[in-house]
Amino acid sequence: MKRCYLILSVMVLVGLLGTSVRCAAAQETQPVVHAVLFYSPTCGHCQYVITQVLPPLYEKYGAQLQIVGFDVTQPQGQAMFVAALERFGVQKPSVPFLVIDNITLIGSQEIPEQFPKLVDTYLNLGGAPWPQIPGLQEMLVSADQTTTAQAPTPPEVQPAAAKPVPAVIAVEPQQVDWR
């Protein structure tokens, strides 16, 4: 009987230690959800998503939510927008247009209704990589090298089309001047 208690105690202890190790590892490498937002600075629906929908999500998720924004009124932003539309087979282009993984959300109704749930879902699944938009990875690498070369800490957050490369709008979205 004592042996059963000893075995049971060891099993519980091993289980608890395993859970602690898994929890510590999870805290060290938290999942991240990546998304791309296409917007126009003159679009009221875009302004609503940018100023009303995204800030509470940034507050809730912090660095676990990373969004790259592209101003479609700028040549580089327009080129990425066209590449995304073609990649995902969207026939009626409209902004705001948000891409998370292989899911596209369009408008100031669809984005607020679905994006928060998708962020939760993807975080529970271990995160979401950057969407597979042609040219996006190269721009992200270029942006990373630019911010590393300039070495600001933390990097200044700007809308994508204000610079030749996109910037991640994640940590301090209130610093972004969307005019």
In this structure, CATH architecture of domain 31-175? 3-Layer(aba) Sandwich (3.40)
Prediction pTM value: 0.69
The helix (H) or strand (E) run that includes residue 114 is helix 107-124
* Number of neighbours of residue 93 by Cβ within 10 angstroms: 13
Residue 27, sorted as left (phi over 0), alpha (psi -120 to 50) or beta, turns out to be alpha
- How far is 113 from 26, CA to CA, in rounded Å? 28
Q: Which residue has the higher pLDDT, 29 or 36?
A: 36
Model pLDDT for residues 84-107, shown as the tens digit of each residue: 999 999 999 999 999 999 999 999
Residue 151, sorted as left (phi over 0), alpha (psi -120 to 50) or beta, turns out to be left
Spans of all domains in the chain: 1-29, 31-175
Model pLDDT for residues 141-163, shown as the tens digit of each residue: 877 765 544 333 333 333 333 33
Q: How confident is the model at residue 21 (pLDDT cuts 50, 70, 90)?
A: very low
